[in-house]
Chains A and B, each alone.
Chain A
Amino acid sequence: MNRGYYWLVLALSIPAFIWLVPTIWMVSLSFQPNDVLARTTSTTALGLIPIPFTAENYGALFSFGQTPWWFLNSVIVSLGMTLGVLAVSTTAGYALARLDFPFKATIATICLIGLMVPEQAVFIPLYTMFADFGWHNSYHALILPRMAVPIGVFLMMQFFKAIPKDIEEAARLDGVGWLKIFWYVMLPLARPAMMTLAILTFLYAWNDYLWPLVSAQQREYFTITLGLASIQSNFAQSEGLGRVMASGVIASLPVVLLFLIFQRYVVQAMTVGGSKG
Chain B
Amino acid sequence: MKTILIGAAVAATVVTGATAQEVTLGRFFGACEDAGMDTKASVGEACIIQSIINAADAEIEGVSINTLPTDWGNYYDQIKAAYAGGTPPDVHVMHRHRVPEFAGLGALAEISGDLESVGIDPSDWTASARDAVTYEGGIYGVPMDLHANLWHVNMDIMAEAGLVDDGAPVLPSSPEELLEHAQMVKDATGHNYLAADFAQFPIGVRLVLALMWQQDANIFSEDGTATIDNGAARNAVTAITQLFDAGLADPQLNYADSQQSFLNGEAAVLVNGTWVVDFYSAEAAKEEVGLDNYYVADFPTLFEQGATWADTHMWAIPSPLKSDEDKYMAALKVLAFINDHNVDWARTGHMAVRTSVLESDEYNNLPHRDEYTGTARIARDTPPSERYGAIQDVLNRELQAIWLTGKPVGDALADAEIEVQDLLDR
Residues of A whose CB lies within 8 Å of any CB of B are 35, 39, 60, 64-66, 127-128, 130-131, 134, 136-137, 213-214, 217-219, 222, 227, 229-231, 233-239
Whether B86 contacts A234 by the Cβ 8 Å rule is no
Whether A239 contacts B30 by the Cβ 8 Å rule is yes
Contact A65 B73, CB 8 Å, known A131-B85, A134-B86 = no
A214: which B residues are within 8 A, CB to CB? 81
Which residue of chain B has its CB nearest to the CB of A138? B87
Whether B46 contacts A217 by the Cβ 8 Å rule is no
Residues of B whose CB lies within 8 Å of any CB of A are 24, 26, 29-34, 44-47, 66-74, 78-79, 81-82, 84-87, 255-256, 259-260, 276, 279, 288-289
CA distance A229 to B68 in the complex (A): 15
Contact A235 B255, CB 8 Å, known A39-B288, A219-B69, A230-B69 = yes
CA distance A233 to B255 in the complex (A): 11
CA distance A35 to B283 in the complex (A): 11
B46: which A residues are within 8 A, CB to CB? 234, 237-238
Identify A231's interface contact among B31, B256, B276, CB under 8 A. Answer: B31
CA distance A235 to B49 in the complex (A): 15
The smallest C-beta distance from A81 to any residue of chain B, in angstroms, reads 20
The smallest C-beta distance from B198 to any residue of chain A, in angstroms, reads 16
CA distance A181 to B14 in the complex (A): 58
A235: which B residues are within 8 A, CB to CB? 30, 72, 255-256
The smallest C-beta distance from A179 to any residue of chain B, in angstroms, reads 39
Whether B71 contacts A234 by the Cβ 8 Å rule is yes
Whether B87 contacts A219 by the Cβ 8 Å rule is no
Given A217-B85, A234-B46, 15 other A-B residues pairs in contact with their CB atoms under 8 A:
A66-B31, A217-B26, A217-B78, A217-B82, A217-B87, A219-B67, A234-B70, A234-B72, A235-B255, A236-B255, A236-B260, A238-B31, A238-B32, A238-B44, A239-B31
Contact A234 B30, CB 8 Å, known A130-B85, A134-B86, A137-B85 = yes
Whether A230 contacts B33 by the Cβ 8 Å rule is no
The smallest C-beta distance from A128 to any residue of chain B, in angstroms, reads 8
A238: which B residues are within 8 A, CB to CB? 29-32, 44-47
The smallest C-beta distance from A167 to any residue of chain B, in angstroms, reads 49
The smallest C-beta distance from A208 to any residue of chain B, in angstroms, reads 16
A218: which B residues are within 8 A, CB to CB? 24, 68-69, 82, 87
Whether B33 contacts A137 by the Cβ 8 Å rule is no
B255: which A residues are within 8 A, CB to CB? 235-236
Identify A234's interface contact among B24, B31, B289, CB under 8 A. Answer: B31
Chosen A-B contacts, 26 in total, with CB atoms closer than 8 Å, are A35-B288, A39-B288, A127-B81, A130-B85, A131-B84, A134-B86, A136-B81, A213-B74, A214-B81, A217-B68, A217-B78, A218-B24, A230-B70, A230-B73, A231-B31, A233-B72, A233-B74, A234-B46, A235-B72, A236-B255, A236-B260, A237-B30, A237-B276, A238-B32, A238-B46, A239-B31
Contact A217 B81, CB 8 Å, known A231-B31, A237-B46 = yes
Whether B33 contacts A60 by the Cβ 8 Å rule is yes
The smallest C-beta distance from A199 to any residue of chain B, in angstroms, reads 29
Which residue of chain B has its CB nearest to the CB of A127? B81
B71: which A residues are within 8 A, CB to CB? 229-231, 233-234
A239: which B residues are within 8 A, CB to CB? 30-31
Contact A131 B276, CB 8 Å, known A217-B81, A234-B31, A234-B72 = no
Whether A136 contacts B72 by the Cβ 8 Å rule is no
CA distance A237 to B218 in the complex (A): 32
